[in-house]
Amino acid sequence: MSPTPPAPVPSPLTAPYWAACGRGRLALQRCGGCARFVHFPEPSCPFCGGDDLAYERVDGRGTVHTFSVVHRSFLPGFAPPYVIAWIDLPEGARAFGDIVGRAPETVRIGQAVRADLSGPLPHWRPA
Ligand SMILES: [Zn+2]
């Protein structure tokens, strides 16, 4: 397997998200109708049906909602064991990604994490 993780393939819907990541920032869609954050990117708001979804920067803090330790990877660039997790953001949205910078067996539900946008793919690190 190649040691390089897959590169993002932006679509018109996700291009602003990936562009923000490329600038080291986390930006999520926010609905102009109901003000809720929406993630993953959607063409219309799953809460109110509105289509006024602009990207807005968020600060990248979160807490681990749940996680899994992957011991057999099928993704290039992700050496097992590694942790994949759903991350609750204080903005009300939930993100998905891997947690790096800590031994997998030490990750806990409720743990504070912060987005690491230093590479082409977002990661999460213990805060
Ligand atoms: Zn809405």
What confidence score (pLDDT) does residue 107 get?
Answer: 97
What confidence score (pLDDT) does residue 7 get?
Answer: 86
Q: pLDDT averaged over the chain?
A: 94
8 A C-beta contact, residue 114 and residue 60? yes
Tell me which CATH code domain 59-127 carries.
2.40.50.840
Listed by start position, the domains of the chain span 9-58, 59-127
Q: 39-97: per-residue pLDDT in tens?
A: 999 999 999 999 999 999 999 999 999 999 999 988 888 889 999 999 999 999 999 99
User: If you measure from the C-alpha of residue 32 to the centroid of ligand 1, how many angstroms do you get, rounded to a whole number?
Assistant: 7
Mapped to the 3 state alphabet, what secondary structure does 17-47 carry? HHHHHHCCCEEEEEECCCCCEECCCCCCCCC
**Tokens representing 86?**
């759903």
1 has pLDDT over 50: no
User: If you measure from the C-alpha of residue 82 to the centroid of ligand 1, how many angstroms do you get, rounded to a whole number?
Assistant: 35
Q: Which residue has the higher pLDDT, 8 or 45?
A: 45
User: If you measure from the C-alpha of residue 26 to the centroid of ligand 1, how many angstroms do you get, rounded to a whole number?
Assistant: 20
User: If you measure from the C-alpha of residue 61 to the centroid of ligand 1, how many angstroms do you get, rounded to a whole number?
Assistant: 22
Collapsing DSSP to helix, strand or coil, 125 comes out as strand
